[in-house]
Structure 1
């Protein structure tokens, strides 16, 4: 825009008076006004001319209004709520955060994972093992417990339907928990990395299953009374089982370092040929159980846990204690009265198969004798508490009453 008096071009079209001569500037054309909220692509001033502070402030205000208009929704329009199915895929889990990604959101599944990992490590030769029988029972219990937890959570896959229903009963996880505790004692024969892993898995499973299937008015624990094991003669069975378990940690004989049986007679290290000519050496043999020659000769001592199927007597004697703790009012099959005798017989046969001239077998047989005393009494029905004995008949025959009756009737003999 130019001044009509001096012809000076105005730097700002909004000036009302000329900056050179002070004459009044002509009115601004209508096309020069900018639409609100829309920024012109052409600059309001030549790029070679200096900028005024007012012009810079106007440009910043226009840019701010333009950005606000692009981000804010139009006036009068309401924000649309998300569709109702937008949150269907989200998991409404409200439990512990560390169990959110665990199948079934169960800490028992975590415990099963630790136990299964321990079974894999037990394959290595430098880790202790729970034995063939313990491994098979543990695998069956792991599958049954995982299937039960997935079914309880409601997200059971297809393979859960093929698990037998008898393994879904509350007694199955309770028995599996007791099995893990017993096998933990078995692993204490050699402490290493496998023991804390197995113990951690056992603790996780025991803590949750004790709340779900063992404790409570509807739990399996209502059918058992552990305090009854402290009464005579069941306390003999409890003490005998404890002695047998301790005996499994004691020496049960000697074997070679490679695990092979010790020969009956072994030559003394060195021979006549290996001796110097001036030394006279008599050829002789040493007994296999001589401790003087066993030191450093590749002979090592083994405990009861090193014998094959060492977990068999442990589980058999543990089942005997479980039956002894069963409440009298609980219904049971008739053949269960012979189970304690069978458990003692199996343990006795196992001990006789591996008996040696050592401390462990004799201590084991001593404890097994106390357990056998209870087993025989239980089989003969003499272990029933007083509450289960038949009541005495108050109307029993009394011979004195007959004499009184005869005297009252005037009978003369």
Structure 2
């Protein structure tokens, strides 16, 4: 359809006004055929070059008209495009897909190491030097073991000693994380993060190395702790742990000890009388706010409080061993050493408070069991090797035969 004024062909037959001059277009006949896609484009002078896209569209439209097919609808920009994911054969949980080795224990150990990094800050609690060192060593051992088990072990895994790859190491590491969580107890941000990491490691390692006929649980009999005299050790350790939450004295808010209330020194010989200091005692409270910086500390605030915790925990682990489990002879002295370390720590920080005396009371019950264990009086059928006597032969000892052997050979049995 052309404009009667300027003769420009309309791009759309439904237009009522010309796009070029604005004149009114003639009415469309009722039976007029629908123009094709080629005629629907605006007229272009022959002197202008044709675009390749227009030529391709014209050829495509002619081909569709000859075959009788319609143009497929264009994909909407808002329609979601299905993401093509690479199939790497991993069928585990999606939240472990990017974790090295796809291991839950590796993720938990990483969370615990992150807590150790946060504990460097002064406004966060910490697990002590010994606790941090054991946590780092155990975390490296668990990560190396999981990476080797998954087959994605990097080069540094080969440098880890094989003794740290034993199944007892992850079990001990899980117990260590649970014990150190007691030291972090309180209203702080570090405790829930530590508990999350410990739970991740504990649930994964319980299925791998603890339960089952070949698990570490076959070496222990926890119910034996309820028998005498092991129940004394269990009760004593419980009393010691409760005592660590009781008051252990007072200290300043910055962690330093309270200043001593000593008398002010008197005058110095040779000084003028007007410069002499009158001897007097400093009052306990100089002002209303004198006691604002003094706080009551618990046993966990005492330096190296993780030492008695780990020592007493190792004592319970040894006490829970099956009697049939073979153990070295030197292991009988470990409970006595744990009690000695705990006693020295308590005496170093003893004050006139409830906590130290309760700790010493519980330590006395633990010491009773440790002495019996060192003397091999805990159980008659313990797994310690028997003491060798002067004669271990199968035949009964005969002094006359021994004298004859010594006379004939020069040696005695």
If the length of structure 2 is used for normalisation, what is the TM-score?
A: 0.68
Change (3 A) 1:266 1:134: same
SS in 1 for 2:291: coil
Q: What are the Cα deviations for residues 218-239 of structure 1, in whole angstroms up to 9, with x where unaligned? A: 1111100111001111011001
Q: Is the 8 A contact 2:324 2:382 kept in 1?
A: no
Aligned to 2:253: 257
Q: How does 1:222-237 map to 2 (within 5 A)?
A: 222-237=218-233
Instruction: Give the Cα separation in 2 of the matches to 1:55 and 1:105.
Output: 61
**Does residue 197 in structure 1 map to residue 193 in structure 2?**
yes
Aligned to 2:304: 309
Q: Is the 8 A contact 2:247 2:355 kept in 1?
A: yes
Instruction: Give the Cα separation in 2 of the matches to 1:182 and 1:333.
Output: 26
Aligned to 1:125: 122
Instruction: Give the Cα separation in 1 of the matches to 2:66 and 2:110.
Output: 64
**Does residue 140 in structure 1 map to residue 129 in structure 2?**
no
Instruction: Give the Cα separation in 2 of the matches to 1:157 and 1:357.
Output: 55
**Does residue 168 in structure 1 map to residue 165 in structure 2?**
yes
Aligned-pair CA distance for 1:216:
0.7
Aligned-pair CA distance for 1:191:
2.1
Instruction: Give the Cα separation in 1 of the matches to 2:162 and 2:309.
Output: 27
Q: Is the 8 A contact 1:254 1:300 kept in 2?
A: yes
Give the paired residue count. Answer: 307
Based on CA coordinates, which of the two structures has the bigger radius of gyration? 1
Q: What are the Cα deviations for residues 318-359 of structure 1, in whole angstroms up to 9, with x where unaligned? A: 000000000011110000001000000010011111111111
Q: Is the 8 A contact 1:112 1:146 kept in 2?
A: yes
Q: Is the 8 A contact 1:129 1:187 kept in 2?
A: yes
Q: Is the 8 A contact 2:174 2:201 kept in 1?
A: yes
2:179 aligned to 168, 171, 182, which one? 182
Aligned to 2:24: none
Aligned-pair CA distance for 1:66:
9.6
If the length of structure 1 is used for normalisation, what is the TM-score?
A: 0.68
Unaligned runs of 5+ in 1: 1-49, 69-86, 269-281, 391-413
**Does residue 212 in structure 1 map to residue 208 in structure 2?**
yes
Aligned to 2:65: 61
Change (3 A) 1:54 1:262: closer
Aligned-pair CA distance for 1:255:
1.6
Aligned-pair CA distance for 1:300:
1.7
Q: What are the Cα deviations for residues 358-411 of structure 1, in whole angstroms up to 9, with x where unaligned? A: 111100000000000000011111101568899xxxxxxxxxxxxxxxxxxxxx
Q: What are the Cα deviations for residues 235-258 of structure 1, in whole angstroms up to 9, with x where unaligned? A: 110010011111111111112222
Q: Is the 8 A contact 1:267 1:286 kept in 2?
A: no
Aligned-pair CA distance for 1:65:
5.0
Q: Is the 8 A contact 1:174 1:220 kept in 2?
A: yes
Aligned to 2:150: 153
Q: What are the Cα deviations for residues 182-205 of structure 1, in whole angstroms up to 9, with x where unaligned? A: 0011111x3211000000000010
Change (3 A) 1:98 1:388: closer
Aligned to 1:320: 315
Q: CA RMSD in A?
A: 3.2
Instruction: Give the Cα separation in 2 of the matches to 1:306 and 1:349.
Output: 16
Change (3 A) 1:158 1:296: same
Aligned-pair CA distance for 1:112:
1.0
Aligned-pair CA distance for 1:126:
1.1
Instruction: Give the Cα separation in 1 of the matches to 2:198 and 2:124.
Output: 18
**Does residue 101 in structure 1 map to residue 95 in structure 2?**
no
Q: Is the 8 A contact 1:266 1:286 kept in 2?
A: no
Aligned-pair CA distance for 1:304:
1.2
Aligned-pair CA distance for 1:294:
9.3
Instruction: Give the Cα separation in 1 of the matches to 2:382 and 2:252.
Output: 56
Q: Is the 8 A contact 2:326 2:383 kept in 1?
A: no
Instruction: Give the Cα separation in 2 of the matches to 1:193 and 1:51.
Output: 79
**Does residue 365 in structure 1 map to residue 360 in structure 2?**
yes
Unaligned runs of 5+ in 2: 1-30, 38-60, 73-84, 265-278, 387-413
The worse-fitting range, judged by mean Cα deviation, of 156-165 and 294-303 is 294-303
2:376 aligned to 358, 372, 381, which one? 381
Change (3 A) 1:61 1:248: same
